[in-house]
Amino acid sequence: MNRLPNLDPLRFLLASFVLIFHIPQLCKNQDLPYFDSLPIFQRGIEAVYMFFTLSGFLIIRLIYIEKQKGSFSIKNFYVRRMLRIFPLYYLIVLFGFTFYNFFLPLFNIPFESNYDIFDGLLLCLFFLPNVFANLYAPGGILEILWSIGIEEQFYLIIAPLLFFIKKSKIVIVLSALLVLYFVAFHIDVFSFLRKFKFVYFFLFFGGIIALLEEMKKLEFLKKKSIFPILICGTTLLYFATDIFKFESTWVNNLFTSVLFGLFIHTLSFNNKNWIVTNKWMHHFGNISYGIYMYHAIALNITVYIFLQFKDSQFISNTLTILLINALTFILTLIFAHISYTYFEKYFLKKKIRFR
């Protein structure tokens, strides 16, 4: 699969949106000053949804290209996913359970744990952290794992599905599944799908957009500059304003799915030869998985430090907010960089064998 360079900075940007979304939440919980008045500080969930769309776009495109070459292997697909996702995921699972159930009590830091550790571990180990997070609210370090669970669940579905579908029928079958699942998700009979955030339709839609591009069905979007300008401008307004905040859940999800899929397609294939070449942005994109996974740890460390100076009159609330955001961001980047360089890369090198 050809690497799509404009998507590395996007990963970093989305991970950053999640980070600035969670900072005010924990600060508010700990009675520290915070700022979340701008819409962009409230787009963490939407950033995760775009991550899902991006994952579907890349994974389904990869499988389709391999099927075209006659080289698609379910075994190799799962081994690659395991080597990329499992090591860091299980590291955070282990750290999270240790942190909340042993570390905090050891230092007499109050935190209510209302679940059986064995049950919680089972849900996380078998990639149902979205269920675990919804039922028990186990703490931010563990709660953010819900999105990793959704992606892993989708991978378990999509690989065997696409393996058995004929190449000529993939778009039709995926489109039918998308429509059926989207309808099911929004009706009361299947309310548990909304409760536990089984938002697979984002991944399906991203994949369908990728397939349409590979089949040269989206060439009309490339004929006039108005299309990429309109799509990128709408996406910017989506994250920076409340203009596209719809009351109806199904309308909001439909609009978001379409917009995110078209935006990712625009960055990848309709960018009018505009390519991000900055090496730091690409590196931050490479470590974006770590940024997402470590940011809750960095935030807890930062908040703990500032709680020690909570009653101090030396710095203003505004400066405190700026320092909390800056320190959290810096610590997150440091943790993600070290993890990628000295931990994740070991497994990524092994992943190359299964391409």
Helices vs. strands in the chain: H and E counts, helices first: 17, 0
Gap between the Cα atoms of 186 and 158, Å rounded: 21
Percent of the chain with pLDDT over 90: 87
pLDDT of residue 313: 65
The whole-model pTM stands at 0.95
Gap between the Cα atoms of 325 and 24, Å rounded: 9
Gap between the Cα atoms of 232 and 108, Å rounded: 49
Gap between the Cα atoms of 257 and 213, Å rounded: 16
156 sits in which H/E element: helix 146-164
Tokens of 124: 């996380």
Largest CA distance in the chain: 68
Tens of pLDDT, residue by residue, the chain (355 residues): 456 768 999 999 999 999 999 999 999 999 999 999 999 999 999 999 999 999 999 999 999 999 999 999 999 999 999 999 999 999 999 999 999 999 998 888 888 888 999 999 999 999 999 999 999 999 999 999 999 999 999 999 999 999 999 988 999 999 999 999 999 999 999 999 999 999 999 999 999 999 999 999 999 999 999 999 999 999 999 999 999 999 999 999 999 999 999 999 999 999 888 888 889 999 999 999 999 999 999 999 999 999 988 776 667 899 999 999 999 999 999 999 999 999 999 999 998 887 7
Tell me which amino acid residue 95 is. F
